Structure 1
Amino acid sequence: MSPAFLTAPTPRRTVLRGFGAGAAALAGAGVLGACSSRETQEEAKAGGAGFTVTDQRGKKIRFDGPVERIATAIIPSPSMIAAVDGSHARIVGINESTLQANREGIFGTLFPESKKTATVAGADFLPNVETVVDLDPDVVIQWGDLGEEVIAPLENAGFKVIGLTYGTQEEMETWIGVFGTLLGKEERGRGLVDWMHEEAAAVRGLVASQDREDPVPVLYLRTAADGWTSADKTQYVNHWTELAGGVNVARDEATATPQVSVEQMLAWDPGVVLLSGFDPATPAAFYADKRLAGLRAVRERRVYKIPLGGYRWDPPCCESPLMWWWTAQILHPALASRVGLRAKLAETFQNLYGHRLTRAETDGILHLDLNAGSSGYDGFRA
């Protein structure tokens, strides 16, 4: 880390630049996650005279003043909005899945009000327009590529709708820029993106330092009603797998979220299996499935539950750099005890949310209990 992590608090503009360079001091990083009310008001004035946002449908949405009430049907967006804003105060409506994550993970500790936020959509993302009307948001965040049925009801009711698309690092960075504009915190948004670029470069450098000729074969699994699904090369899973020095064994499947049978798992024979944070599947249950006893990842005890931080780490979010580091250390076990992921967690949560993690909170995020029986995971205790 940069020596600037050890410096005294600096003026807000300097801290924001330092965050982009991975250089916010723990002592002063709370400035990033929890601005004073005066600073928040001053930044919000950036949109006071009116501004325009171009969403990922290419549609321009005009706002006449600051945005104070946001409803979002998109599952990962509330944690990203909170990271950009340093607050949950402007979020009035969320997806049911987000509410579940808020109640199960640490986000509800960071922002207790998030555990009681009204829900405006479920797994199908179809908006509950009646609820949205009651909430009276200044804007609704919705998927821009799921068809008119998820957007038209909102626009027909008179709401401004920002349509977003998902899947790549570049698209996530666009989200951060959109949220920075909406919240009047463009500089903060740019700092977050710069920080991500530097963290990606650092992870690539770390992986390149390992003496390994071939990438580690990795299988990402998410439970489905009739078994398992995975993710192909169009999904964000592929991004962080390759960044961390792995190869996604499902990358060339014909569909974005292919069904995966036991027979297919055995044919792929991955060296590492990563279980999604979206469902209750655990390594212990995976090891206990006799059908999978011949799988290399089972024989070598290399099945892991993906962490749940301010949001689930599988999809793109502001904590994605932590997922990159975690995955790199899973794929290269010798790194787990040498690269301080716990310290990175502490720094990142202070920077993003203005929260100083306890040891127990860090243990919970990393699922030390669920992953206790998996090879090398004790390295994350230090």
Structure 2
Amino acid sequence: MSTAVFSSRSRRSVLRGLGGGALAVAGAGALGACSTRETEDTHSTGAADAGFTITDQRGKNVTFDGPVRRIATTIIPSPSMIAAVDGSYDHVVGINESTLQANKQGVFGTLFPESKKTATIAGADFVPNVETVVGLRPDVVIQWGDKGDEVIAPLENAGFKVIGLTYGTQQQMETWIKIFGRLLGKRKRAADLLDWMHTEDKAVRGLVAPYAKKRQKRVLYLRTAADGWTTATGSDYVTHWTEIAGGTNVAHDVAADAPQVSVEQILAWDPEVVFLSGFDDATPADLYADKKLADVRAVRERRVYKVPLGGYRWDPPCCESPLMWRWAAQVLHPELATRTGLRSRIKDSFDRLYGYDISAAETDRVLHMDLNAKSSGYDGFRA
């Protein structure tokens, strides 16, 4: 480890909706109240039969002559979001290698078995394999809009329509949902999804308010790096869900992007709760066994938790983020176990998002019940 403190059921024939008008529903039961809405996009506002134009997050207008049927994407979280907005995986033809691995490791590959065999068009550097993309014949390619011309120009030079996206905040993620809704002719479904998210934000903040007013729990997020750990700062989405859940990120004010942290700094911060990234293989048991971290409060009190992996990893913004907010709230405030209703909400949400009846055993996998079994308060997630 570095000694430096910082360095630079099956598918449903008809998918139910996500609950339009959900902003008018308050409290912890908001998601359950949305169960009777239809999601089939039959309104003219959702149809993509005629030509349309999308302004991407680069500010570039991209025009389509008709429906988008085949989507290739180098961006890691986008396939699960496309599937949630579409209610199927039918239009995804190319993905990132990291996404393929997540599909094989997590429950998404069970939801959509075809996702475990999807062609890969890019790796960790997001540079597209243009020859592979050509063979897939996509109507559009989704690519990062802020990582330089080297990842977009080869695609545009090959004649592909490219949607450039940026990522990291709730607002940016909501823009993705709107764009995917327009591409897929599912604008109404996308709007319902956003309504659900906004309602859940208010509901979770309401749940934790009595506890957060007294004192916010000090939280540290860790992700393994070649020579130790990195963490998330105030600009990271981790801070967004930490604060919704009634906690405070001890690395909030660090002026670096994904800074490395030393054992000394972790000891100095002495977090009460540690969240372990879903992007690596580190487990709570690893920290509990690390004698160098034995004096860290979260380790002493066995309050180290592996972040869930559902249709996608829950750390970054995704369509399952409202579930992450409730999970983090219960981890920080175990007394909420009977009020967050997380397991039933996972079941309802997977039905709504993916048309899938998730089993109890699959829910255990999502929540990493095995890896988190010896962490304080985690039995609360069995209810």
TM over 0.5: yes
Q: What is the alpha-carbon distance in structure 2 between the residues aligned to residue 204 and residue 64 of structure 1?
A: 43
For 1:281-296, list aligned pairs within 5 A: 281-296=282-297
Is the CA contact (8 Å cut-off) linking 1:244 and 1:327 kept in structure 2? yes
Which whole-Å deviations, capped at 9, do the CAs of 1:310-335 have from their partners, x for residues lacking one? 00000000000000000011011111
Is the CA contact (8 Å cut-off) linking 1:313 and 1:320 kept in structure 2? yes
Q: Give the corresponding residue for 1:196.
A: 197
Question: Aligned Cα RMSD in Å?
Answer: 2.2
**Counterpart residue type for residue 308 of structure 1:** L
Q: Give the corresponding residue for 1:316.
A: 317
Is the CA contact (8 Å cut-off) linking 1:126 and 1:150 kept in structure 2? yes
Of the structure 1 ranges 12-21 and 251-260, higher mean CA displacement relative to structure 2 is found in 12-21
**Counterpart residue type for residue 112 of structure 1:** P
Q: What is the alpha-carbon distance in structure 2 between the residues aligned to residue 26 and residue 13 of structure 1?
A: 9
Structure 1 gaps of 5+ residues are: 1-10
Q: Give the corresponding residue for 2:207.
A: 206
**Larger relative contact order, structure 1 or 2 (CA cutoff 8 Å, min sep 6):** 2
**Counterpart residue type for residue 160 of structure 2:** F
| Structure 1 position 209, deviation (Å) | 2.6
Q: What is the alpha-carbon distance in structure 2 between the residues aligned to residue 43 and residue 312 of structure 1?
A: 34
Is the CA contact (8 Å cut-off) linking 2:263 and 2:292 kept in structure 1? yes
**Counterpart residue type for residue 329 of structure 1:** Q
Identity of aligned residues (%): 69
| Structure 1 position 245, deviation (Å) | 0.6
For 1:90-169, list aligned pairs within 5 A: 90-169=91-170
Structure 2 gaps of 5+ residues are: 1-13
Change (3 A) 1:48 1:70: same
For 1:1-382, list aligned pairs within 5 A: 16-17=19-20, 22=30, 32=39, 35=40, 46-210=47-211, 213-382=214-383
SS across alignment from 1:74: coil
| Structure 1 position 23, deviation (Å) | 5.6
Is the CA contact (8 Å cut-off) linking 2:22 and 2:34 kept in structure 1? no
Is the CA contact (8 Å cut-off) linking 1:44 and 1:66 kept in structure 2? no
| Structure 1 position 337, deviation (Å) | 3.9
Q: What is the alpha-carbon distance in structure 2 between the residues aligned to residue 44 and residue 211 of structure 1?
A: 41
**Counterpart residue type for residue 291 of structure 2:** K
Which whole-Å deviations, capped at 9, do the CAs of 1:95-137 have from their partners, x for residues lacking one? 1111011011110111110000001111111111111111110
Q: What is the alpha-carbon distance in structure 1 between the residues aligned to residue 44 and residue 119 of structure 2?
A: 27
Q: Give the corresponding residue for 2:11.
A: none
| Structure 1 position 226, deviation (Å) | 1.2
Change (3 A) 1:378 1:49: same
Q: What is the alpha-carbon distance in structure 1 between the residues aligned to residue 257 and residue 201 of structure 2?
A: 24
Aligned pairs, number: 366
Give the TM-score, by structure 2 length: 0.91
Give the TM-score, by structure 1 length: 0.91
Is the CA contact (8 Å cut-off) linking 1:43 and 1:185 kept in structure 2? no
SS across alignment from 1:209: helix
Q: Give the corresponding residue for 1:6.
A: none
Which whole-Å deviations, capped at 9, do the CAs of 1:50-99 have from their partners, x for residues lacking one? 00000000000000000000000110000000000000010000011110
Change (3 A) 1:244 1:154: same
Q: What is the alpha-carbon distance in structure 2 between the residues aligned to residue 343 and residue 65 of structure 1?
A: 39
